[in-house]
Each structure stands twice: as C-alpha cells, then as structure tokens.
C-alpha cells in the first residue's frame, strides 16, 4: 500500500477526502499529530510500524 510513497504524495490538496470507518481508524493511527492530514513523516513512520502493517495486510486480503 505504501510502496513508492513519495510518488503518491500530493502537496496541495484542496478537496476533502471521505473514508469509510475502517480506513478512518487506520488514518487516525497514522495521523500522529491529529491535524487530519497525513504528512510524509507520518507515512514514513507508518510503513515501519508493525501494527499498521498488520492492519493494512488485512485490508489487502479483503480487497482481493
């Protein structure tokens, strides 16, 4: 999910993104400063976080 994350980052986003509840929980785990935005450092840390990797792997299984 986070492979090549640098290519996926949009620095100027003006539209609000809506997430379903399960992704919203994941978003909250990654958003360490609770500003409702994911910055590069938060995503970089999420890639290394064992618990977040486990959650993401469950999402991947349900999408297949």
Full DSSP string of 3-32? TTHHHH--S---S-----HHHHHHHHHH-T
CA geometry: angle at 64 spanning 50 and 5, to 5°?
Answer: 45
- pLDDT beyond 60 at 29: yes
Q: pLDDT tens digit string along 34-64?
A: 998 889 999 999 989 998 888 888 776 665 5
Position 48 scores a pLDDT of 92
Q: Which one has a higher pLDDT value, 19 or 58?
A: 58
DSSP one-letter code for 37? -
- The model's pTM: 0.60
């Amino acid at each position: 999910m986070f492979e090549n994350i640098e290519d996926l980052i949009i620095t100027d986003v003006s539209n609000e993104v809506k997430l379903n509840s399960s992704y919203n929980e994941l978003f909250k785990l990654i958003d360490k400063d609770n500003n409702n935005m994911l910055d590069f450092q938060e995503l970089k840390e999420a890639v290394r976080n064992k618990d977040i990797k486990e959650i993401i792997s469950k999402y991947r299984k349900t999408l297949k």
